[in-house]
Protein backbone atom coordinates (compact mmCIF):
# COMPACT_ATOMS: atom_id res chain seq x y z
CA UNK A 1 0.00 0.00 0.00
CA UNK A 2 1.88 3.08 -1.23
CA UNK A 3 -0.47 5.81 -0.05
CA UNK A 4 -0.86 6.94 3.51
CA UNK A 5 -3.37 5.17 5.71
CA UNK A 6 -6.36 7.38 6.44
CA UNK A 7 -7.25 7.62 10.12
CA UNK A 8 -10.29 8.99 11.95
CA UNK A 9 -10.48 9.46 15.72
CA UNK A 10 -13.48 10.46 17.79
CA UNK A 11 -15.02 10.23 21.22
CA UNK A 12 -18.44 9.72 22.76
CA UNK A 13 -19.18 9.40 26.52
CA UNK A 14 -15.54 9.87 27.48
CA UNK A 15 -13.27 11.86 29.75
CA UNK A 16 -10.67 12.78 27.14
CA UNK A 17 -8.00 10.51 28.65
CA UNK A 18 -8.01 8.21 25.63
CA UNK A 19 -7.31 11.09 23.26
CA UNK A 20 -4.52 12.25 25.56
CA UNK A 21 -3.03 8.73 25.53
CA UNK A 22 -2.54 9.08 21.77
CA UNK A 23 -0.83 12.44 22.19
CA UNK A 24 1.24 10.96 25.04
CA UNK A 25 3.07 8.86 22.46
CA UNK A 26 5.14 12.01 21.85
CA UNK A 27 7.59 11.47 18.99
CA UNK A 28 5.72 8.33 17.91
CA UNK A 29 2.77 10.54 17.03
CA UNK A 30 5.07 12.24 14.52
CA UNK A 31 6.03 8.83 13.12
CA UNK A 32 2.32 8.04 12.88
CA UNK A 33 1.82 11.26 10.95
CA UNK A 34 4.34 9.96 8.37
CA UNK A 35 2.23 6.86 7.81
CA UNK A 36 -1.25 8.11 8.33
CA UNK A 37 -3.30 11.01 7.15
CA UNK A 38 -5.63 12.10 9.91
CA UNK A 39 -8.91 12.86 8.16
CA UNK A 40 -11.01 13.42 11.29
CA UNK A 41 -10.11 14.11 14.93
CA UNK A 42 -12.33 16.91 16.22
CA UNK A 43 -10.86 16.86 19.73
CA UNK A 44 -7.38 17.67 18.44
CA UNK A 45 -7.85 19.34 15.05
CA UNK A 46 -10.40 21.58 13.40
CA UNK A 47 -12.73 19.01 11.85
CA UNK A 48 -16.50 19.13 11.67
CA UNK A 49 -18.75 16.11 11.69
CA UNK A 50 -19.92 17.09 8.21
CA UNK A 51 -16.32 16.51 6.98
CA UNK A 52 -16.56 12.84 7.87
CA UNK A 53 -20.19 12.54 6.76
CA UNK A 54 -19.26 13.90 3.32
CA UNK A 55 -16.72 11.13 2.69
CA UNK A 56 -17.83 8.02 0.76
CA UNK A 57 -18.62 4.92 2.82
CA UNK A 58 -15.60 2.70 3.56
CA UNK A 59 -13.21 5.44 2.50
CA UNK A 60 -11.37 5.77 5.84
CA UNK A 61 -8.92 2.96 6.55
CA UNK A 62 -8.96 2.94 10.35
CA UNK A 63 -11.32 4.52 12.88
CA UNK A 64 -10.41 4.83 16.56
CA UNK A 65 -13.54 5.40 18.62
CA UNK A 66 -13.26 6.06 22.34
CA UNK A 67 -15.99 6.48 24.92
CA UNK A 68 -19.26 4.72 25.64
CA UNK A 69 -22.53 5.43 23.83
CA UNK A 70 -25.20 7.26 25.82
CA UNK A 71 -26.83 9.91 23.64
CA UNK A 72 -28.58 9.81 20.29
CA UNK A 73 -25.73 11.90 18.86
CA UNK A 74 -23.10 9.47 20.12
CA UNK A 75 -25.00 6.61 18.56
CA UNK A 76 -25.14 8.47 15.25
CA UNK A 77 -21.37 9.08 15.53
CA UNK A 78 -20.77 5.36 16.15
CA UNK A 79 -22.90 4.50 13.11
CA UNK A 80 -21.08 7.12 11.04
CA UNK A 81 -17.70 5.59 12.01
CA UNK A 82 -18.95 2.09 11.23
CA UNK A 83 -20.11 3.27 7.78
CA UNK A 84 -17.04 5.30 6.85
CA UNK A 85 -14.22 3.20 8.33
CA UNK A 86 -12.96 -0.09 6.93
CA UNK A 87 -11.56 -1.10 10.33
CA UNK A 88 -13.25 0.12 13.49
CA UNK A 89 -11.25 0.00 16.74
CA UNK A 90 -12.94 0.26 20.14
CA UNK A 91 -10.26 2.36 21.81
CA UNK A 92 -10.23 2.35 25.61
CA UNK A 93 -12.34 0.65 28.25
CA UNK A 94 -15.39 2.90 27.79
CA UNK A 95 -15.67 1.91 24.12
CA UNK A 96 -14.77 -1.74 24.82
CA UNK A 97 -17.03 -2.38 27.83
CA UNK A 98 -18.98 0.79 28.65
CA UNK A 99 -16.38 1.91 31.19
CA UNK A 100 -17.02 4.21 34.12
CA UNK A 101 -19.92 6.00 32.35
CA UNK A 102 -21.57 2.57 32.23
CA UNK A 103 -22.07 2.62 36.00
CA UNK A 104 -24.97 4.95 35.25
CA UNK A 105 -26.87 1.81 34.24
CA UNK A 106 -27.40 1.17 37.95
CA UNK A 107 -30.19 3.78 37.94
CA UNK A 108 -32.99 4.72 35.55
CA UNK A 109 -32.41 7.78 33.40
CA UNK A 110 -35.11 9.78 35.21
CA UNK A 111 -33.44 9.14 38.56
CA UNK A 112 -30.08 10.28 37.22
CA UNK A 113 -31.57 13.52 35.96
CA UNK A 114 -33.35 14.20 39.25
CA UNK A 115 -30.14 13.53 41.18
CA UNK A 116 -28.08 15.87 39.04
CA UNK A 117 -30.66 18.66 38.59
CA UNK A 118 -32.40 18.51 42.00
CA UNK A 119 -30.84 16.37 44.72
CA UNK A 120 -27.12 17.00 44.92
CA UNK A 121 -26.12 19.42 47.71
CA UNK A 122 -24.44 21.75 45.22
CA UNK A 123 -27.48 22.02 42.93
CA UNK A 124 -28.83 25.55 42.66
CA UNK A 125 -31.90 25.14 40.47
CA UNK A 126 -34.84 26.95 42.11
CA UNK A 127 -36.72 27.01 38.80
CA UNK A 128 -36.43 23.20 38.56
CA UNK A 129 -35.12 23.38 35.02
CA UNK A 130 -34.45 20.04 33.36
CA UNK A 131 -32.53 19.53 30.10
CA UNK A 132 -34.81 19.49 27.04
CA UNK A 133 -34.04 18.07 23.61
CA UNK A 134 -35.47 21.25 22.13
CA UNK A 135 -36.18 24.75 23.37
CA UNK A 136 -36.83 28.15 21.80
CA UNK A 137 -35.07 31.30 22.97
CA UNK A 138 -35.69 34.65 21.25
CA UNK A 139 -37.25 32.85 18.32
CA UNK A 140 -34.22 30.58 17.91
CA UNK A 141 -34.63 26.82 18.34
CA UNK A 142 -31.83 25.12 20.27
CA UNK A 143 -31.44 21.36 20.43
CA UNK A 144 -29.63 18.85 22.62
CA UNK A 145 -29.12 15.16 21.82
CA UNK A 146 -31.58 12.82 23.55
CA UNK A 147 -30.28 10.60 26.34
CA UNK A 148 -30.81 6.89 25.85
CA UNK A 149 -32.12 4.93 28.78
CA UNK A 150 -28.85 3.01 29.16
CA UNK A 151 -25.14 3.31 28.38
CA UNK A 152 -23.74 0.87 25.80
CA UNK A 153 -20.31 -0.24 24.74
CA UNK A 154 -19.40 0.45 21.11
CA UNK A 155 -19.94 -3.14 19.97
CA UNK A 156 -23.40 -3.15 21.51
CA UNK A 157 -24.46 -0.63 18.87
CA UNK A 158 -22.22 -1.32 15.85
CA UNK A 159 -19.82 -4.02 14.69
CA UNK A 160 -16.26 -3.58 15.97
CA UNK A 161 -13.12 -5.08 14.39
CA UNK A 162 -10.41 -4.56 17.03
CA UNK A 163 -10.42 -3.83 20.75
CA UNK A 164 -7.79 -1.80 22.59
CA UNK A 165 -8.77 -1.89 26.28
CA UNK A 166 -7.35 0.21 29.10
CA UNK A 167 -8.36 3.33 30.97
CA UNK A 168 -6.71 4.77 29.01
CA UNK A 169 -4.86 2.23 26.84
CA UNK A 170 -1.24 2.27 28.07
CA UNK A 171 1.62 3.44 25.85
CA UNK A 172 2.80 -0.08 25.08
CA UNK A 173 -0.61 -1.02 23.69
CA UNK A 174 -1.06 2.27 21.82
CA UNK A 175 2.38 1.60 20.30
CA UNK A 176 1.16 -1.85 19.26
CA UNK A 177 -1.80 -0.23 17.59
CA UNK A 178 0.48 2.23 15.80
CA UNK A 179 2.61 -0.75 14.65
CA UNK A 180 -0.55 -2.38 13.29
CA UNK A 181 -1.32 0.86 11.41
CA UNK A 182 2.26 0.82 10.03
CA UNK A 183 1.88 -2.79 8.86
CA UNK A 184 -1.42 -1.87 7.31
CA UNK A 185 0.29 1.02 5.47
CA UNK A 186 3.03 -1.28 4.19
CA UNK A 187 1.18 -4.47 3.36
CA UNK A 188 -2.51 -3.90 3.98
CA UNK A 189 -2.50 -6.58 6.72
CA UNK A 190 -4.14 -6.21 10.10
CA UNK A 191 -4.66 -8.46 13.15
CA UNK A 192 -7.62 -10.85 12.69
CA UNK A 193 -11.07 -9.36 13.35
CA UNK A 194 -12.12 -9.27 17.02
CA UNK A 195 -8.49 -9.26 18.20
CA UNK A 196 -8.02 -7.71 21.62
CA UNK A 197 -4.72 -5.84 21.75
CA UNK A 198 -3.68 -7.24 25.12
CA UNK A 199 -2.66 -10.51 26.75
CA UNK A 200 -4.88 -13.60 26.59
CA UNK A 201 -4.14 -14.38 30.23
CA UNK A 202 -5.22 -12.85 33.51
CA UNK A 203 -3.00 -10.15 35.00
CA UNK A 204 -1.94 -12.44 37.89
CA UNK A 205 -0.08 -14.50 35.30
CA UNK A 206 2.42 -11.71 34.67
CA UNK A 207 2.18 -9.85 37.97
CA UNK A 208 5.52 -9.26 39.73
CA UNK A 209 3.82 -10.15 43.04
CA UNK A 210 2.31 -13.44 41.87
CA UNK A 211 5.02 -15.50 43.59
CA UNK A 212 4.12 -14.01 46.96
CA UNK A 213 0.46 -15.01 46.78
CA UNK A 214 -0.43 -17.49 49.51
CA UNK A 215 -4.21 -17.63 49.11
CA UNK A 216 -4.56 -16.74 52.78
CA UNK A 217 -8.11 -16.16 53.93
CA UNK A 218 -9.31 -12.57 53.84
CA UNK A 219 -10.79 -12.07 57.29
CA UNK A 220 -11.21 -8.36 56.66
CA UNK A 221 -11.33 -6.39 53.47
CA UNK A 222 -9.63 -3.02 53.53
CA UNK A 223 -9.55 -0.15 51.07
CA UNK A 224 -6.26 1.26 49.73
CA UNK A 225 -6.41 4.41 51.89
CA UNK A 226 -6.85 2.39 55.11
CA UNK A 227 -3.44 0.72 55.14
CA UNK A 228 0.01 1.25 53.72
CA UNK A 229 0.33 -1.71 51.41
CA UNK A 230 3.51 -3.75 51.49
CA UNK A 231 4.85 -3.26 47.94
CA UNK A 232 6.40 -6.73 47.90
CA UNK A 233 3.27 -8.81 48.65
CA UNK A 234 0.14 -9.77 46.77
CA UNK A 235 -2.66 -7.34 47.59
CA UNK A 236 -5.14 -10.12 48.28
CA UNK A 237 -2.95 -11.43 51.09
CA UNK A 238 -3.12 -7.96 52.63
CA UNK A 239 -6.92 -7.80 52.53
CA UNK A 240 -6.99 -5.44 49.54
CA UNK A 241 -9.29 -6.30 46.65
CA UNK A 242 -7.16 -6.77 43.56
CA UNK A 243 -9.03 -7.67 40.39
CA UNK A 244 -5.93 -9.02 38.63
CA UNK A 245 -7.38 -12.48 39.26
CA UNK A 246 -10.23 -11.80 36.80
CA UNK A 247 -8.78 -9.15 34.48
CA UNK A 248 -6.97 -9.53 31.19
CA UNK A 249 -3.26 -8.70 31.44
CA UNK A 250 -1.26 -6.59 29.02
CA UNK A 251 -1.21 -3.35 30.98
CA UNK A 252 2.41 -3.82 32.14
CA UNK A 253 0.96 -4.00 35.68
CA UNK A 254 1.22 -0.22 35.87
CA UNK A 255 -1.13 0.12 38.85
CA UNK A 256 0.55 -2.76 40.73
CA UNK A 257 3.94 -1.11 40.17
CA UNK A 258 2.48 2.07 41.67
CA UNK A 259 1.36 -0.01 44.71
CA UNK A 260 -2.32 0.17 43.78
CA UNK A 261 -4.47 -2.94 43.30
CA UNK A 262 -5.80 -3.74 39.82
CA UNK A 263 -9.23 -2.19 39.24
CA UNK A 264 -10.10 -4.24 36.17
CA UNK A 265 -9.85 -1.78 33.28
CA UNK A 266 -8.62 -4.41 30.79
CA UNK A 267 -11.84 -6.40 31.15
CA UNK A 268 -12.27 -10.16 30.94
CA UNK A 269 -10.10 -12.68 29.10
CA UNK A 270 -11.72 -14.63 26.25
CA UNK A 271 -12.53 -17.51 28.63
CA UNK A 272 -14.38 -15.33 31.13
CA UNK A 273 -18.06 -14.76 30.65
CA UNK A 274 -18.28 -11.88 33.12
CA UNK A 275 -15.17 -10.53 34.85
CA UNK A 276 -17.09 -8.99 37.76
CA UNK A 277 -18.78 -12.30 38.54
CA UNK A 278 -15.45 -14.12 38.18
CA UNK A 279 -13.77 -11.72 40.61
CA UNK A 280 -16.65 -11.91 43.08
CA UNK A 281 -16.56 -15.68 42.95
CA UNK A 282 -12.78 -15.76 43.51
CA UNK A 283 -13.01 -13.31 46.41
CA UNK A 284 -15.86 -15.37 47.86
CA UNK A 285 -13.61 -18.41 48.03
CA UNK A 286 -10.95 -16.43 49.88
CA UNK A 287 -13.25 -14.54 52.24
CA UNK A 288 -13.69 -15.39 55.90
CA UNK A 289 -11.49 -16.42 58.76
CA UNK A 290 -10.52 -20.11 58.64
CA UNK A 291 -11.03 -22.21 61.73
CA UNK A 292 -9.87 -25.74 62.32
CA UNK A 293 -12.54 -27.31 60.17
CA UNK A 294 -13.41 -24.84 57.51
CA UNK A 295 -14.63 -21.32 56.98
CA UNK A 296 -17.80 -20.53 58.89
CA UNK A 297 -20.43 -19.25 56.42
CA UNK A 298 -21.32 -16.33 58.67
CA UNK A 299 -17.68 -15.20 58.70
CA UNK A 300 -17.52 -15.41 54.92
CA UNK A 301 -20.76 -13.44 54.63
CA UNK A 302 -19.47 -10.81 57.06
CA UNK A 303 -16.28 -10.36 55.04
CA UNK A 304 -18.08 -10.11 51.70
CA UNK A 305 -20.64 -7.71 53.19
CA UNK A 306 -17.81 -5.43 54.30
CA UNK A 307 -17.04 -4.61 50.66
CA UNK A 308 -17.91 -0.96 50.13
CA UNK A 309 -19.65 -0.31 46.79
CA UNK A 310 -19.62 -3.85 45.35
CA UNK A 311 -21.09 -2.77 41.99
CA UNK A 312 -18.52 -0.02 41.58
CA UNK A 313 -15.76 -2.36 42.69
CA UNK A 314 -16.52 -5.40 40.55
CA UNK A 315 -18.14 -3.65 37.57
CA UNK A 316 -16.23 -0.37 37.53
CA UNK A 317 -15.44 -0.71 33.82
CA UNK A 318 -17.81 -3.30 32.46
CA UNK A 319 -21.36 -2.98 33.76
CA UNK A 320 -23.04 -2.49 30.33
CA UNK A 321 -21.63 -5.82 29.16
CA UNK A 322 -22.17 -7.69 32.42
CA UNK A 323 -24.76 -10.43 32.69
CA UNK A 324 -26.39 -8.56 35.58
CA UNK A 325 -26.87 -5.50 33.34
CA UNK A 326 -28.70 -7.54 30.74
CA UNK A 327 -31.03 -8.70 33.52
CA UNK A 328 -31.60 -5.16 34.78
CA UNK A 329 -32.04 -3.36 31.51
CA UNK A 330 -32.91 -5.88 28.85
CA UNK A 331 -30.71 -5.59 25.78
CA UNK A 332 -29.25 -2.08 25.31
CA UNK A 333 -29.73 -2.42 21.53
CA UNK A 334 -33.50 -2.27 22.03
CA UNK A 335 -33.15 0.91 23.97
CA UNK A 336 -34.73 4.15 22.81
CA UNK A 337 -34.16 7.80 23.71
Residues of the shown chain interacting with ligand SF4 in the complex, contacts defined by CB under 6 A: 14-15, 17-18, 66-67, 92-94, 99-100, 167-168, 203-204, 207, 209-210, 213, 234-236, 242, 244-245, 256, 262
User: What is the 8-class DSSP label of residue 219?
Assistant: S
The C-alpha atoms of residue 148 and residue 34 are separated, in whole angstroms, by 39
Give me the least distance between CB of 233 and ligand SF4, in Å please. 8
Q: For ligand SF4, which is the closer residue by CB, 43 or 112?
A: 43
Give me the least distance between CB of 125 and ligand SF4, in Å please. 27
Residue 204 dihedral angles phi and psi, to the nearest 5°? -50, -30
Give me the least distance between CB of 20 and ligand SF4, in Å please. 8
Q: For ligand SF4, which is the closer residue by CB, 8 or 185?
A: 8
Number of Cβ within 10 Å of residue 82's Cβ equals 18
The C-alpha atoms of residue 288 and residue 199 are separated, in whole angstroms, by 32
Give me the least distance between CB of 59 and ligand SF4, in Å please. 26
| Helical packing angle, 275-286 and 297-305, nearest 10° | 130
Q: Is cis: bond before 39, omega within 30 of 0? A: no
Q: For ligand SF4, which is the closer residue by CB, 19 or 335?
A: 19
Q: For ligand SF4, which is the closer residue by CB, 207 or 319?
A: 207
Distance between start and end Cα atoms, the chain: 42
| Exposure of 221 in the CB half-sphere (CA atoms within 13 A) | 22
Q: For ligand SF4, which is the closer residue by CB, 40 or 235?
A: 235
Q: What is the DSSP string of 163-205?
A: EE-SSS--HHHHHHHHHHHHHHHHHS--PPTTEESS-SSBGGG
Q: For ligand SF4, which is the closer residue by CB, 10 or 325?
A: 10
The C-alpha atoms of residue 131 and residue 149 are separated, in whole angstroms, by 15
The C-alpha atoms of residue 3 and residue 63 are separated, in whole angstroms, by 17
Give me the least distance between CB of 231 and ligand SF4, in Å please. 10
Q: For ligand SF4, which is the closer residue by CB, 12 or 185?
A: 12
Give me the least distance between CB of 274 and ligand SF4, in Å please. 18
Query: Nearest-CB residue to ligand SF4?
Result: 244
Give me the least distance between CB of 5 and ligand SF4, in Å please. 23
Amino acid sequence: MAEKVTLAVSWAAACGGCDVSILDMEERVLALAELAEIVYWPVALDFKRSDLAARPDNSVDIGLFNGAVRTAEQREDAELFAAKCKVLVAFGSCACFGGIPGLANLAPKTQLIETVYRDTPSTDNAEEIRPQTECTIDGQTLTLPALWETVSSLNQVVEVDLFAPGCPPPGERVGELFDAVARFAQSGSLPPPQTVLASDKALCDSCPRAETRTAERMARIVRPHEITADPSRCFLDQGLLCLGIATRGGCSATCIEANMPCRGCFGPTAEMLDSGAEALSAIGTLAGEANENDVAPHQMKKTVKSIVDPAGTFYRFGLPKAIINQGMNDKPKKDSP
